Amino acid sequence: MADIARKESDIAKIQVKKADLLKKQADIEGKLLKARQELTKKEEQETRKRIQAQEREQKRLADLENRTQREKIAQQKRLQAEIEHTIQLAEQVSQVKAPEDSSTISEAKYDLFISHASEDKDEFVRPLAETLEGMGVKVWYDEFTLKVGDSLRKSIDKGLVNSKYGTVIISSSFCSKNWTQYELDAMVAQEMNGHKMILPIWHKVTKDDVLNFSPSLADKVALNTSMSSIEEISHELREVVLGVEV
């Protein structure tokens, strides 16, 4: 009977342990199920994020394509407007006549007309004009040519008409000035009449800056102050306007 009682006690203990193991097993299975559910949820979230990211990228590309197309159309319109404006200026320049009273105005012809913004005088334009003069190039430069009482517009027109070439110092200041635009338009008008005139110099600007200012001007081969010194630029200009290699 004592043995039976011990066996029954052992059985009871085993059953308790079994119940504990079953409970632990149920807990583990519950945690595993929860972990699987969370993994499935995260996978679904990641899938949604990936789809959303793809949709955003597709929308971005579509917006970029639309914006590029709009900019292309706007650029074409600007170019067309520039061409039409240039044609009008060509007609105006072709009608420009020399003043009847030539006794008060010099009959000198210039090799090179320098169009620039006043902000660029000290750093670049004045040294360039002085260097060119020293090389024997006859330049139209306002500080050399204009006198007290002169009409600015008439003097510029006279200088443009009597210059074989014109160099345009394209800078951020140049692009914002009305007078420089007037001078550039007059040079473009002469080129529309078949005379290659414009010799551009880029001064602290990028191709995009020039392209935004004038697409046709950005297409011309230009000298660049960030790549060449004043002396080197002067030599290049002299070679073109005088046809003399240095």
Which active-site residues does the annotation give?
183
Unique residue bearing structure tokens 């046809």: 243
At 115, is the secondary structure helix, strand, or coil?
Answer: strand
- Contact predicate 186/176, CB 8 Å: no
The alpha carbon of 31 is separated from its chain's Cα centroid by a whole number of angstroms, namely 60
Backbone angles phi, psi at 111, to 5 degrees: -75, -35
Distance, in Å, from the CA atom of 185 to the CA atom of 178, rounded to the nearest integer, reads 10
- N- to C-terminal Cα distance for the chain? 130
Q: In degrees to the nearest 10, what's the CA dihedral of 156, 159, 163, 166?
A: -30
Question: Secondary structure of 54-99 in the HEC alphabet?
Answer: HHHHHHHHHHHHHHHHHHHHHHHHHHHHHHHHHHHHHHHHHCCCCC
